Structure 1
Amino acid sequence: MSRIAIAGYRSKPGKAGELDTLMRTHLPILQQAKLATARAAIILKAEHGTVIEVFEGISE
């Protein structure tokens, strides 16, 4: 069974680039661990820097 997951992230001051890098690697890591489906994530970034990630997680 799968479920839609919505997560919000906010970087510490001066760390926005590191958060951007993390967002590119986060879903593939979850997929390798069989915690997310192959469906692509939707990643949204607000003007003030908050990042919203929507992906399909796998649950038992």
Structure 2
Amino acid sequence: MIYTCAAHAERGLDDAIDKTGEPPIMEKKNNILSTKCCYCTDQSVYKIYGMAEGQV
């Protein structure tokens, strides 16, 4: 799974596609997640994952 802030959402999608070769599932959380963005120190708002949970 990849967790991203709003600024890095597109990068997270690109990385997920590069890794799996398939379009990932992207969920926007209404409340800010307690997890940090994978690319910076901001709080994440998106969770990106493959069709099989944990694939990315």
Output the TM-score relative to the length of structure 1. 0.43
More strand by share: 1
Output the TM-score relative to the length of structure 2. 0.45
Give the number of the structure whose alpha-carbon radius of gyration is greater: 1
